[in-house]
Amino acid sequence: MILPTYNEADNVGPMVEALGPKLDERDRILIVDDNSPDGTGRIADRLAAGNSSVEVLHRPEKEGIGPAYLAGFRRALEEDAGLIVQMDADFSHDPAYLPRLLAASELADLVIGSRYVPGGGITEWGRTRRLLSRGGSLYARKLLGVPVRDLTGGFKCFRREVLETIDLERVAASGYSFQVEMTYRVLEAGFEVIEVPITFRERRIGDSKMSTAIVAEAAWRVPAMRFARRASRG
């Protein structure tokens, strides 16, 4: 279980506590902290000191969610994880859905907790943010020509062989377009992807990390993925 954190001091402890009953003794929680100025890293270290299932990976600076997850993936592979789950640490992804993703991993190489399949949804967002999120997923889906409905979703479970096959060094996105790029690369590599419904909620405490720069990166990086595919195929 990989939890990337930046200024999540109020959320990381409750999230680790909430995940505990969903995991067995062999499972591990890896907190990847980008040198949070609010002390999240110190809290994570205290959690790890009192809980053998928790590990902490400290990164020197904030580089975006993409590099944080990639660092977490590499650590998980080094430690022989068979399934690698990624999720937000702010409770926008409900830990109650974790068993659903793990069960579905028996049927597919990548499982996505999806807001946009039947049974999924979003609560507590206004109309503008809903349109931006759904529109972003639709934009990427149509431009890339893939069937996944929630391409920007960040609650995922990968089988080990997926991350071993994808060249992680070539994953370039740093913001939320990272979610699109990873799913796209999984599909391009020929792996099976399925979506299971979840309800996405507003973060429990703290400020959203979404910014104009993140939206702008997604707007140009998605067509860049498509053009790169065309070039590789001649």
Q: In sequence order, what DSSP letters do the residues of 154-218 get, joined into one string?
A: --EEEEHHHHHHS-GGG----STHHHHHHHHHHHHTT--EEEEE-EE---SSS-----HHHHHHH
Residue range 72-85, pLDDT digits in tens: 999 999 999 999 99
6/135: higher pLDDT: 6
Lowest mean pLDDT among 97-106, 118-127, 159-168: 118-127
Which of 94 and 143 is assigned the larger pLDDT?
94
Separation CA 210–CA 89 (nearest Å): 15
Residue predicted with more confidence, 208 or 151: 151
Q: What is the mean pLDDT of residues 158-184?
A: 92
Task: Report pLDDT for 135.
Answer: 76
Extended beta strands in the chain, E state: 2-5, 29-33, 54-58, 83-86, 110-114, 121-122, 156-159, 193-197, 199-200
Q: What does the pLDDT look like over 4-32, one tens digit per residue?
A: 999 999 999 999 999 999 999 899 999 99
Dump pLDDT digits (tens) for 195-233: 999 999 876 665 655 545 555 555 656 766 766 655 455
pLDDT of residue 131: 73
Cα distances (angstroms) measured from residue 10 to each of 65, 75, 101, 178 = 19, 25, 26, 25
Question: β-strands 156-159, 110-114: how paired?
Answer: antiparallel
Place of tokens 């060094």: 169
- What pLDDT, on the 0 to 100 scale, is given for residue 231? 45
Burial call 196-227: b when 16+ CB within 10 Å, e when fewer? bbbebbebeeeeebeeeebeebbeebbeebee
In this predicted structure, the answer to whether residue 128 has a pLDDT above a threshold of 90 is no
Query: Where exactly are the structural domains of the chain?
Result: 2-232
- Spell out the residues 6+ positions from residue 46 whose beta carbon is closer than 8 angstroms to its own: none
Sign of CA dihedral 212, 152, 124, 105: negative
Using the predicted structure, report yes or no on whether residue 88 has a pLDDT greater than 70. yes
Q: Which fold has domain 2-232?
A: Spore Coat Polysaccharide Biosynthesis Protein SpsA; Chain A (3.90.550)
Average pLDDT across the chain, whole number: 88
Residue 203 backbone zone (phi > 0: left; psi -120 to 50: alpha; other: beta): beta
Q: Quick one: pLDDT at residue 42?
A: 98
